[in-house]
Amino acid sequence: MLVQVYGDNAMKKTAICKWVKRFSEGRKSATDEEGSGRTATSITEENIVKVRQIVRENHWLTVRSIADQVNIDKKTVSKILIEEGVQK
């Protein structure tokens, strides 16, 4: 339907999926953040709390398992564990 209205200017399905993910991870605006050259990340206060809770309940879990439970990538979980001082 978007293609019928916008023709070649319609967003691709993959781009729409990326934006849905970004907003579900806490992004508030579609405009670029001023002065930021980096893309939005999954390191949100909510995800930090989730990772802490999961590790508190079972510190033997793998990074992959934690990432699957929080629905973020393994690299982000590793950053949270290291930068936020979450002990495994």
pTM of the predicted structure, to 2 decimals: 0.53
pLDDT at 64 over 60: yes
Widest distance between CA atoms in the chain: 52
Structure tokens at 38: 């980096």
Query: Please, are residues 47 and 80 in contact by the beta-carbon 8 Å criterion?
Result: yes
At 38 the pLDDT is 46
Q: Where are the domains of the chain?
A: 45-83
Query: Please, are residues 74 and 64 in contact by the beta-carbon 8 Å criterion?
Result: yes
pLDDT at 34 over 70: no
Residues 6+ apart with CB under 8 A from 5: none
User: In the Cβ-directed half-sphere of 4, how many Cα atoms lie within 13 Å?
Assistant: 1
